[in-house]
C-alpha cells in the first residue's frame, strides 16, 4: 500500500481546494496526483489510489461540473469490473446532471445507483439530491409551487446569492409542469446565467443549450451567455457562432455592461466593426 500512502495526501489536497472553491489550485494539485498514479494501476495500492479520483469528482461538483466530469471518467476506469464502484460513479454522474439542469438524466443516474446501493447512496450528500429523488420539491410534498420557487430564486439572484438561486431554480424545474415550456425556458436560461456568474462555465453552457432546445433561439441573452461560456472554456468556434448570433439579434447593446473581450473577439475576426 506504499503507493496509496504516498498519493493520498496529494488527492486530499485537491479535495480540500475544491471544497474551498479554489478551482485553479485544485486542478493543479489534482493533476499532480494523477500524474503520479501508475497507468494502468497494477497493485492494490495503485488501484486504490486511482479510485480516489471518485472522491475528487464529488468535491468538484459544486464548483466545476466540467472538472467533476473529467474526474468521473477517470474513476469509471479505476472501478472497471466493480458493480458497487460503478454505482457510486452513477450517483456522482447524477449530481453533475442535476447541477447542470439535466433533471431526467439526473433521475436516471440516481435510479441506477439506488438499485445497487439502496437509499444509503444519499448518505452524507447534500440533502437537495435526496429531496429531488423523493420528489420533495413538488408542490404536494414541499409546499412550494414551481412559480414560488422560481420567484424565490430570483430574489436570491438579485441579492447576489447565485448558488442559492441555482438550487431554487433547479427545484422549480423538478416541480414544474413538463408542458410549461415558457417556465422551463426561463428557468434553464436563468440557471445558466447564475452558473456563469459563479464561474462554472461548463454547467452554464449546458444550461443555455437546454434553453435553446426548448425554443430560445430568438433570445439574444441566451446566445450571449452560451457564447461567453464557450469562450471561457476555450471553444473558439462555438463561442464565435453564439456571440455572433447574439449580436445579430440585438446589435451592440447586447455587449453593454459585459467584458469588452467578447465583442472584441468578433472584431478581431472581421465579423463586426
Per-residue pLDDT tens digits for 145-154: 888 889 999 9
Q: Is the pTM of this model over 0.75?
A: no
Q: Is 34 left (phi over 0), alpha (psi -120 to 50) or beta?
A: alpha
Angstrom distance (rounded) from CA 6 to CA 36: 9
Who contacts 182 (Cβ-Cβ below 8 Å, separation ≥6)? none
| pLDDT > 90: percent of the chain | 56
| DSSP label at residue 218 | T
* Average pLDDT of the residues in 69-79: 93
Angstrom distance (rounded) from CA 24 to CA 171: 29
Per-residue pLDDT tens digits for 172-220: 888 888 788 899 999 999 999 999 999 999 889 999 999 998 887 889 9
Residue matched to cell numbers 440533502 = 127
The separation between CA 6 and the C-alpha centre of its own chain, rounded to angstroms, equals 31
Angstrom distance (rounded) from CA 70 to CA 60: 10
* Average pLDDT of the residues in 89-111: 90
Angstrom distance (rounded) from CA 73 to CA 82: 15
Amino acid at each position: 500500500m506504499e503507493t496509496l500512502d504516498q498519493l493520498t495526501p496529494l488527492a486530499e489536497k485537491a479535495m480540500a481546494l475544491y471544497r474551498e472553491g479554489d478551482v485553479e489550485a485544485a486542478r493543479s494539485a489534482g493533476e499532480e496526483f494523477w500524474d503520479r498514479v501508475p497507468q494502468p494501476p497494477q497493485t492494490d495500492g495503485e488501484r486504490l489510489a486511482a479510485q480516489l479520483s471518485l472522491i475528487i469528482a464529488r468535491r468538484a461538483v459544486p464548483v466545476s461540473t466540467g472538472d467533476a466530469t473529467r474526474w468521473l471518467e477517470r474513476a469509471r476506469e479505476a472501478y472497471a469490473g466493480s458493480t458497487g464502484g460503478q454505482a457510486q460513479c452513477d450517483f456522482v454522474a447524477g449530481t453533475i446532471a442535476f447541477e447542470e439542469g439535466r433533471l431526467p438524466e439526473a433521475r436516471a443516474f440516481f435510479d441506477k445507483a439506488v438499485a445497487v446501493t439502496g437509499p444509503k447512496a444519499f448518505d452524507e450528500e447534500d440533502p437537495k439530491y435526496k429531496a429531488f429523488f423523493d420528489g420533495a420539491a413538488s408542490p404536494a410534498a414541499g409546499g412550494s409551487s414551481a412559480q414560488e420557487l422560481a420567484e424565490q430564486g430570483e430574489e436570491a439572484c438579485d441579492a447576489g446569492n447565485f448558488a442559492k438561486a441555482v438550487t431554487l431554480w433547479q427545484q422549480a424545474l423538478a416541480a414544474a409542469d413538463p408542458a410549461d415550456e415558457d417556465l422551463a425556458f426561463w428557468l434553464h436560461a436563468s440557471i445558466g446565467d447564475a452558473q456563469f456568474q459563479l464561474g462554472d462555465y461548463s454547467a452554464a453552457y449546458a444550461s443555455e443549450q437546454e434553453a435553446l432546445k426548448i425554443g430560445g433561439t430568438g433570445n439574444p441573452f441566451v446566445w450571449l451567455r452560451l457564447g461567453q461560456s464557450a469562450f471561457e472554456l476555450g471553444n473558439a468556434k462555438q463561442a464565435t457562432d453564439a456571440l455572433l448570433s447574439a449580436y445579430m439579434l440585438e446589435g451592440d447593446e447586447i455587449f453593454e455592461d459585459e467584458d469588452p473581450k467578447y465583442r472584441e473577439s468578433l472584431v478581431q475576426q472581421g465579423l463586426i466593426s
